[in-house]
Structure 1
């Protein structure tokens, strides 16, 4: 029987983690509330404006990092949209207008779930056998809006050390459209004064309005040896979904790029960490039930409908299957984590091994789950769910963070040798 090690560490949703976000007021042909507020503050006498600003600073100044900088940035956005010269407004009123058009948002008040993990760009100063990692998390706040949060840490010999979160969280800022011709793509940047563990990526386009869901991130090595971090995720507008890709070389600047093609219409795409036989490859679930191998000549365009490679076979996955993150390269082949849904919509995590040179060939798969929802792992925001968006190899183990009932994140170390023998 496969024995896994599960340390007691768990991460939970935390309503005290808040960021300052733009507050968008409705605008109709009959009424522009933003302009009304703008005009009201401009007309306000300076004594009143300073008094109101003092209240804002007293209430929120100690809860956030550089609130004045955020307020001024928000004021500049609105003034530019309205065609108003920012220098014509005194700084105290600029700050106050910015404050009226922002709000405090608890980005992980409802849930914290569906983690993915990859190696950190900085691997210096570590003891032998240790690895510094970056973990992405799906954080869900008011209105069930999903964002991407990060935690950094070090893993070694089945021990996990998470870097402390800074007292203040900050939202990455949008820096407009990409120079390349990617329709709907945007670039966002981490605040220069914020650590990665204190950074949150929020929806910035109409297609993402209701969430950035389930980032599956991997360190991708191009044929020329250059590396970058690529992650697929689902953009949700509130009505429609589309698959998009996050690209970054340093976790300071992030490009968010919609993927094109018929195969990019579904959730849960996971990218191989390198090209195989001259092709980019993905695992996808094209019919909502089975797993397919997808191929493309371009990272951003996926038109191939794919080859079905795995379908429900065992009782614990009889309802449907999906992938649980990018394939992991081993000497024996590509290790693919999967999830299965069984009776009473109970989720379990399993695995399969794909041929290294021809990933359409399945060399083995687990007869029984690696992890199933049980005991304390059953209860939460969505009961009976265990789910991961990615793991990494650390020594002889698979280091796998996973979501529990869409409410918390737990961790597991799975011995790779035993996992392969269980197939």
Structure 2
């Protein structure tokens, strides 16, 4: 008989009111035209325009004046071309200019799906059996641009799900570009990113074994000035885009987790940050780090990336390297296996692989772990988040694609000491879209990026047809038994 899966009534829907204020720029000519028009206004006219804007948008953004001044700073270089001295410009005029180069973007107006559950670092003031989680979501807005958004969830002692309401504001982080790069790994990623081999060879001859962002930028600018060449300059710009893929971001300490959004920053992820798989990683010395693997997408190429944080306020982000850091579906094990980091992947697009590494950023030698077996997974199989350690082995929730490109969830169990050994796999789907779940942006899809165990049950947050999200639970012992003891029909 089939496993008893309980679908929770809780659903988390996209909310178009969740907006961020972003820089808006249509080129230097349009920019100069706008600035010249604003500078013709009298002080009284400026105040009469900006005052109601500040009153209106202060209700929608935590510090609208700070945002407007920040965007003014990005275009003030155009003042020189207009022969205007910045010292002559009033504070209100700067705010008004900033408003013309700002627009609102609704981060989750289209979809809010593919959730990943992680234990909240703060587990204080809870009753027995309760647990506080952070759930990450893939939020999609205009232009199908994906970002990472968060909600806090409380699980009570009966495993009822309580999604804490989000705050009134949502903020992007401050970005710090201060990475130090390893030349060999950086140039390897440049080749994968289809940057011309002659450019890579030139950089190899110029750069030291390790270098920083400012050094790289100086070398590229000097090369552009010495030999102006539109095609070469375009490739050199792509090298800078690649360097922008390494960054640190920091959120204000006065933000709630639901106030924070990780929005695409570098050009190599300008079309989206997709399907973050979060894991609480415990190192050999007992220290804890929260990691997430995700896919960066620039509209043509995808780049696997790694995010790490200790507190969900500050994050370090950079690409992953190696022959195993290809395609999508990378998921890190929550601890080292026999002294090495371990990762699941799907490098060929349709089979599951496993790989090990001494360096969490470099992944080589992927080994086939699972291939297509059952009819409901004949198109592809992949993971739905990091493996979960249980008494019987590593529990992996999988996704599979079958007829009519229908996505469903499955499960398998890997050996605790050697997870390259599959101990068992469900011979039927664990979760499949029911009639109420099958309609959405992409019909007939259920998908998850990370589950968690609590009070003897596996709690699966999952996306419904690439539109919204919900939760399902299954008894853990029953699931493990079913994986290890396939159901036999007469």
Q: Compared with structure 1, are the counterparts of its residues 280 and 145 closer, same or farther at alpha carbon in structure 2 (3 Å cutoff)? A: same
What is the TM-score of this pair, normalised by structure 2?
Answer: 0.82
TM-superposition CA deviations, 1:1-60 (whole Å, max 9, x none): 311222100011121221211213235xxx3x3344344434532122112212322442
Q: Does 1:207 align with 2:268?
A: yes
Q: Does 1:70 align with 2:67?
A: yes
Q: Tell me what 2:388 maps to.
A: 328
Q: Does 1:280 align with 2:341?
A: yes
SS at match of 2:429: coil
State the alpha-carbon separation in 2 of the partners of residues 46 and 388 from structure 1. Answer: 54
State the alpha-carbon separation in 2 of the partners of residues 148 and 334 from structure 1. Answer: 27
Deviation at 1:367, TM superposition (A): 0.8
State the alpha-carbon separation in 2 of the partners of residues 295 and 19 from structure 1. Answer: 39
2:353 aligns with one of 292, 305, 310: 292
Deviation at 1:88, TM superposition (A): 5.5
State the alpha-carbon separation in 2 of the partners of residues 350 and 141 from structure 1. Answer: 29
TM-superposition CA deviations, 1:152-171 (whole Å, max 9, x none): 12113221122221122222
TM-superposition CA deviations, 1:202-233 (whole Å, max 9, x none): 00001010110000000111222211110000
Q: Tell me what 1:119 maps to.
A: 119
TM-superposition CA deviations, 1:356-392 (whole Å, max 9, x none): 1101000011111110012111111110000000011
TM-superposition CA deviations, 1:263-308 (whole Å, max 9, x none): 212111001111111111110011111100011111111132x111
Q: Which has the larger Rg?
A: 2
Deviation at 1:86, TM superposition (A): 6.4
Q: Tell me what 2:145 maps to.
A: 145
Paired residues of 2:159 and 2:455 also in contact (CA < 8 A) = no
Q: Tell me what 2:228 maps to.
A: none
Q: Tell me what 1:235 maps to.
A: 296
Paired residues of 2:79 and 2:85 also in contact (CA < 8 A) = no
Q: Does 1:161 align with 2:221?
A: no
Paired residues of 1:178 and 1:255 also in contact (CA < 8 A) = no
Q: Tell me what 1:51 maps to.
A: 48
Residue ranges of structure 1 left out of the alignment (5+ in a row): none
Q: Tell me what 1:343 maps to.
A: 403
Paired residues of 1:174 and 1:189 also in contact (CA < 8 A) = yes
State the alpha-carbon separation in 2 of the partners of residues 301 and 403 from structure 1. Answer: 30
State the alpha-carbon separation in 1 of the partners of residues 314 and 86 from structure 2. Answer: 27
What is the TM-score of this pair, normalised by structure 1?
Answer: 0.94
Q: Tell me what 1:134 maps to.
A: 134
Task: Provide the aligned length of Structure 1 versus Structure 2.
Answer: 418
- After TM superposition, the structure 1 = structure 2 runs for residues 8-407 of structure 1, keeping only pairs within 5 Å, are 8-27=9-28, 31=29, 33-79=30-76, 89-156=89-156, 157-178=158-179, 183=243, 184-304=245-365, 306-407=366-467
Deviation at 1:151, TM superposition (A): 0.2
SS at match of 1:375: coil
Q: Compared with structure 1, are the counterparts of its residues 87 and 190 closer, same or farther at alpha carbon in structure 2 (3 Å cutoff)? A: farther
Residue ranges of structure 2 left out of the alignment (5+ in a row): 187-242, 484-490
